[in-house]
Amino acid sequence: MAFDYDLFVIGGGSGGVRAARTAAETGAKVALAEESRMGGTCVIRGCVPKKLMVFASEFPAMFEDARAYGWQVKAGAFDWPAFRGRLHAELDRLEGIYRTMLGRSGVEIHDARAVLKDAHTVELAGGATFTAKHVLVATGGVPMRPGIANAELGIVSDDIFLMEELPRSILIVGGGYIACEFACILNGLGVEVTQYYRGAQILRGFDGEARGLISEAMLDAGIGLHLGTNIVDMCPEGAPQVDQGTNSDALGVEQSGAEVTGDSGAAARKRIWVKATNGHENVFDHVFFATGRRPNTDGLGLEEAGVTLGRRGEIEVDAHSQSAVPSIYAIGDVTGRVELTPVAIREGAAFTETVFKGNPVKADHDLVPSAIFTQPEYGAIGMTEEEATERGGVEIYCTSFRPMQHAFAGHSDRVLMKLIVDREDRRVLGCHIVADNAGEMIQLAGIAVKMGATKEDFDRVVAVHPTMSEELVTMKSPVRTA
Ligand code: NDP
């Protein structure tokens, strides 16, 4: 059977774009459909604008430090509209680069929503249909709101970059990556930040000591972090309240949530009254739900085409990213594996190797380093101390200290460096760094950990002095064993 294309990619995020380009470069006839802006979550409403906001938010602390270092500086006010204009100009530039790269590789771009009609047929929003030998679904994820009444009054991460003005106060609900990063960013930009996290400590799943240190730093920085607290009721200020009681079960742990579309910020511009599980009632300019993301699979025709979806709506795929339908593959957040941009990119490249280069490659999901851009940052790879203790046969090397740069400026902030070491074969099983620029450090330490370096390999490297990371090669004795 003759197909219109060798490959039709649905979704122009990091993973889809990489797969489309690399496949087209093999000579394959490739199309890519994107219903929104090219670049996807990472470029348009995630990693890139977030990191630029991190940079913007760090200046007040730098101005303060500059004074301690003898500079006569006076911080002015933060001009959000000016920053936002530059931010969006930069996103436009990056989107342009994505489009140019796709065009140069010979990929045909369809700026439309695409859905599956069957195992080899895709239909665009305008009604046009195309056949393809292979279809790759790379539609990413969408933010979720909790299933409480009036949740649509709250904003989600997509909306943050579009706000016309910075709120004076915000309640952030959640304790994961997005909640903690934005608590620090908005606090740095001068917004009065309150954060409710339902669990005992933020950043569940990460190293306990690192989580504790970040949580302390956030509190010290002035963030109103309330642990063991959730939202039970919300409505526009002055409107009749819908009392849902304080039964946290009613909030649901894995709510399916409402899909976020359009500018939900418009509704949220009215101030919002909120009641918390601890009985506190407050009014905020915005409520920001950072309560997780779910795979973007609704209405794509996947199940009708025979694709199997998991409990959270994720596309079930094998190690080669192939779904239950042999011609349909899926990569990135839509598969609910490791929800990180560089992983989606690796999965896209592995897909092309496997399907278009006759070289079956499995994307490697083991020992993936990641960084959380809180202030201070947290970089991590491998086992946490809690996981290591459960497994046993490990030594924990750890140090926490006031870095020279901060101590001089009179701050009490500490950094943390931790190595988890196998007692028998001496391999470093985990590395955790909480410090300024920990994201940069963990990328490099991650190479050694991924290579299987032992503690003694670390120790054979001469320290670079004076740095914070030299502590990674100078820790002499374990602080704990398990
Ligand atoms: P996370 O899953 O990290 O965090 C979701 C948070 O919301 C958790 O604290 C969770 O609590 C809480 N939560 C979930 N449901 C409810 C509810 N009904 N009521 C109250 N709280 C609730 O999701 P994020 O959206 O922060 O991030 C999604 C993914 O995106 C991350 O897992 C990560 O892979 C990726 N990401 C990576 C970044 C990076 O690399 N720097 C930055 C941002 C995102 P609990 O812990 O109790 O379940």
Give the mean pLDDT of 432-438.
98
Q: Which of ligand 1's atoms lies nearest the C-alpha of 177?
A: 26
**Å from CA of 143 to ligand 1 middle:** 9
Q: How many residues does the chain have?
A: 482
Instruction: State the chain's mean pLDDT as an integer.
Output: 94
Look up residue 152 and give its DSSP letter: G
Mean pLDDT computed over 382-406: 98
In sequence order, what DSSP letters do the residues of 407-474 get, joined into one string? Answer: HHTT----EEEEEEEETTT-BEEEEEEEETTHHHHHHHHHHHHHHT-BHHHHHHSPP-TT-SGGGGGT
Ligand 1 midpoint to CA 260 (Å): 16
- Residue of the CA atom closest to atom 16 of ligand 1: 291
Q: How, if at all, do strands 192-197 and 169-173 pair?
A: parallel
Å from CA of 427 to ligand 1 middle: 30
Which pLDDT belongs to residue 269? 58
The average pLDDT across 464-477 equals 97
Atom of ligand 1 nearest to the CA of 175: 9
Mutate to test the pocket of ligand 1, among 157, 178, 443 (most ligand atoms within 8 A of CB): 178
CA of 337 to the centre of ligand 1 (A): 14
pLDDT of residue 240: 64
Which residue's alpha carbon is at the smallest distance from atom 9 of ligand 1? 175
290-55-439 Cα angle (round to 5): 75
Residue 290 CA: nearest ligand 1 atom is 25
Both tokens assigned to 134: 């292979």
Q: What is the pLDDT of residue 283?
A: 98
Answer yes or no: is the C-beta of 230 below 6 A from any ligand 1 atom. Answer: yes
- Determine whether the shortest distance from the Cβ of 441 to ligand 1 is under 6 A: no
Quick: pLDDT tens for 280-322.
999 999 999 999 999 999 999 999 999 999 999 999 999 999 9
- In angstroms, rounded to a whole number, what is the distance separating the alpha carbons of residues 471 and 475? 6
Please report the pLDDT score of residue 262 as a whole number.
36
Q: What is the mean pLDDT of residues 364-387?
A: 98
Give the pLDDT of residue 260. Answer: 36
Model pLDDT, residue 101: 97
171: exposed, middle or buried (Cβ count in 10 Å: 0-12, 13-18, 19+): buried
Can 411 be counted among the known catalytic residues?
no
* 270 pLDDT tier (thresholds 50, 70, 90): confident
Pairing of strands 370-372, 231-236: unpaired
- Please give the pLDDT value at position 238: 85
The per-residue pLDDT for 163 is 96
For residue 172, the CA-to-ligand 1 centroid distance in Å is: 12
Q: Is 391 in the pocket of ligand 1 (CB under 6 A)?
A: no
Q: Which one has a higher pLDDT value, 242 or 435?
A: 435
Q: Which atom of ligand 1 is nearest to the CA of 338?
A: 34
- Which residue is closest in CA terms to ligand 1's atom 46? 204
Q: Which atom of ligand 1 is nearest to the CA of 341?
A: 40
Contacts 24+ apart (CB under 8 A), 64-69: 64/409, 65/405, 65/406, 65/409, 65/411, 68/408, 68/409, 68/410, 69/408, 69/409
- For 54, the enclosing helix (H) or strand (E) is helix 47-57
Mean pLDDT of 382-400: 98
Is 146 touching ligand 1 by the criterion CB < 6 Å? yes
For the chain, the distance separating the N- and C-terminal CA atoms, rounded to the nearest angstrom, is 61
Q: What is the pLDDT of residues 247-264, one digit of tens each?
A: 433 333 333 333 333 344
Position 243 confidence tier, pLDDT thresholds 50, 70, 90: low
Ligand 1, atom 33: closest residue by C-alpha = 339
Residue 423: CB within 6 Å of ligand 1?
A: no
Inter-residue long-range contacts of 251-257, CB under 8 Å, 24+ positions, other chains counted: 251/146, 251/147, 251/148, 251/198, 252/146, 252/147, 254/312, 255/144, 255/145, 255/146, 255/147, 255/291, 256/144, 256/147, 256/294, 257/143, 257/144, 257/145, 257/146, 257/147, 257/291, 257/292, 257/294
In the structure, what pLDDT confidence band is assigned to residue 75 with cuts at 50, 70 and 90? Answer: confident
Burial class (CB in 10 A: 0-12, 13-18, 19+), 174: buried
Instruction: State the distance from the centre of ligand 1 to the C-alpha of 349, rounded, in angstroms.
Output: 27
- Asked which of 157-171, 267-281, 383-397, 460-474 is least confident by mean pLDDT, the reply is 267-281
Mean predicted confidence (pLDDT) in 432-448: 98
Q: Which of 88, 134, 432, 465 is catalytic?
A: 465
Q: And the tokens for 96?
A: 């342009």
Kindly report the pTM of this predicted structure. 0.94
